[in-house]
Amino acid sequence: MASPELINVAANGDVVLVFGDELAPSLCIHIRVSSAVLSIGSSVFKAMLSPNFKEGLELAFSSAPIEIPLPDDDATAMEVLCNVLHHRNDTVPVAASLTASRLLQIAQASDKYDCAVALQPTARCWLAELGRMTRTEERRTLITAAYVFNDAHAFKEFGRCVVLQTVGPIWDLTTCDDAAPLRRLFESMEQERTVQQRKIVSYLESQRHLRVCGGIRRRILARARQAQAVAIEARL
């Protein structure tokens, strides 16, 4: 029978996190880590590895690394999280190798195990770099990641880009489950943008007598009308 893949985040670690179905070992991923490091960076792991829980009692009386099954977690996201906590900077991925969706998975894992504070410096770098590289439609995912990482600056910047650059209703970008916590926010952003678009349309139409930059005025007016029409149609 094939052995599971073993990733040594801490070669002498006393805990092995197990991901996947233990009934299919060849498909499982094991990540070896240090209980001391996990306990410092994560209040959830600190509690889990205390004497008040089964895992903590097992750890206290075991001479070999204990296994903790985490079948519902994403192994890749957790590997990144563990590498950051263990200061394995040589293995922490750079922003260029991450997608917005992958970063959101890492953010959700850090939120689940209450270690967003420990990841915050690295997360800020990821968000800043990805914000410059990603398309407008991916920034909805980055807004959610920034929210989970509690990065107010990135949250503001991504929100600004979505409002200014998204064509069509903003709430169409929140159809995925990962955006559900912020759905009301996106809908409020869309309503406010529609109000501002109407003001722009009204102003430009009131300035029809001006010939200066008429081409620019027409393009702005056409785009504002198009976005407004799409938003109204989506509400019908």
pLDDT tens for the 236 residues of the chain, in order? 567 889 999 999 999 999 987 667 667 899 999 999 999 999 999 999 999 999 999 999 999 999 999 999 999 999 999 999 999 999 999 998 999 999 999 999 999 999 999 999 999 999 999 988 777 668 778 988 999 999 999 998 888 887 777 766 665 544 545 445 677 777 777 777 777 777 777 776 776 655 545 566 566 666 666 665 555 444 43
Confidence (pLDDT) at 144: 87
Contacts 24+ apart (CB under 8 A), 11-14: 13/65, 14/59, 14/62, 14/65, 14/66
- Do residues 110 and 81 touch, judged by C-beta distance below 8 A? yes
β-pairing, 66-69 vs 15-19, is parallel
Confidence (pLDDT) at 188: 77
Confidence (pLDDT) at 14: 96
Question: How does DSSP classify residue 8?
Answer: E
Neighbouring CB atoms inside 10 A of 145's CB total: 29
In terms of phi and psi (left: phi > 0; alpha: psi -120 to 50; beta: otherwise), the region of 150 is left
* Terminal Cα distance for the chain, rounded: 58
- Do residues 37 and 10 touch, judged by C-beta distance below 8 A? yes
Confidence (pLDDT) at 2: 65
- Do residues 171 and 187 touch, judged by C-beta distance below 8 A? yes
7-43 burial, b if ≥16 CB within 10 A, otherwise e? bebbeebbbbbbbbeeeeeeebbbbbbbbebbbebbe
Confidence (pLDDT) at 236: 39
Confidence (pLDDT) at 128: 92
Separation of CA 134 from chain center: 13
pTM of the predicted model as reported, rounded to 2 decimal places = 0.78
